[in-house]
Copies of this chain bind each other. A is one copy, B any other.
Amino acid sequence: MRQMELKILSEGKVLSGDILKVGNFLNQQIDTDFLKSVADEIAKMFSDEGITKILTIESSGIALAIAAGMVMGVPVVFAKKHKSSNVDGEVYSTKVHSFTHGTDYNAVVSRDYLLQTDKVLLVDDFLASGNALKGLVELVAQAHAELAGAVVAIEKKYQGGGDALRDAGVRVEPLACIESMDEHEIRFCQL
């Protein structure tokens, strides 16, 4: 999506430690007009798929998931992050390793909100090592629901998480895909 690339180039900042700061429009301050355009694009990508539910994980994916859900007219479900694995039988749960924080957490969702009859679209803001998305894929599998694919605002392709998911048969659609970046230049993938 050219609009996402332009937004990254004009408002994003590359910080040391391989961090792309997009707090200005995507993370901490949300440009809602831009978000609406992004949601329209997501709805178009998956318009023929009969999506019944969007699944995201708290908290940075919520804004994009809600916008997409409003445009597509489907409910949005949040997986929650729990430190403890001590969860009862009323939830689906899977362990996720956070590359950013170097710790593990459990992604948890109530069984009531993910049904066998659902066709699920995963939505998140960043895709890097792909651990969070892999966790959501696992939750969908535990529910015996159907997975339509995953949309992410920004994929850092060089971290390999997106391609690992594609190799596993998941349709992964980034709205912007970064081939490489440093403080001087951001290069987008040639699609």
Task: Report A's interface with B, CB cutoff 8 A.
Answer: 23-24, 28-33, 35-36, 58-59, 62-63, 66-67, 69-70, 72-78, 80, 109-110, 112-113
The residue from B28, B36, B59 contacting A110, defined by CB atoms under 8 A apart: B28
Pick the most buried of A31, A32, A112: most chain B CB atoms within 10 A of its CB: A32
Given the interface pairs A23-B110, A59-B59, A63-B62, the reply to whether A70 lies near B35 with Cβ below 8 Å is yes
How many copies, total?
A: 2
Closest chain B residue to A59, Cβ basis:
B59
Is there contact, CB below 8 Å, between B32 and A66? yes
6 A-B pairs with the lowest CB-CB distances in the bound complex, closest first: A59-B59, A32-B69, A29-B113, A30-B76, A62-B62, A32-B70
With a CB–CB cut-off of 8 A, which chain B residues contact A29?
75-78, 110, 112-113
Is there contact, CB below 8 Å, between B28 and A80? yes
Is there contact, CB below 8 Å, between B113 and A78? no
Given the interface pairs A62-B59, A67-B70, A70-B67, the reply to whether A75 lies near B32 with Cβ below 8 Å is yes
The residue from B32, B69, B73, B113 contacting A28, defined by CB atoms under 8 A apart: B113
Taken together as a complex, chains A and B put the C-alpha atoms of A70 and B62 apart, in Å, by 14
With a CB–CB cut-off of 8 A, which chain B residues contact A80?
28
Taken together as a complex, chains A and B put the C-alpha atoms of A19 and B24 apart, in Å, by 35
Is there contact, CB below 8 Å, between B28 and A77? yes
Is there contact, CB below 8 Å, between A69 and B24? no
With a CB–CB cut-off of 8 A, which chain B residues contact A110?
23, 28-29
Closest chain B residue to A72, Cβ basis:
B32
Q: What are 6 contact pairs spanning A and B, CB under 8 A?
A: A23-B113, A28-B77, A30-B78, A31-B75, A32-B73, A33-B73
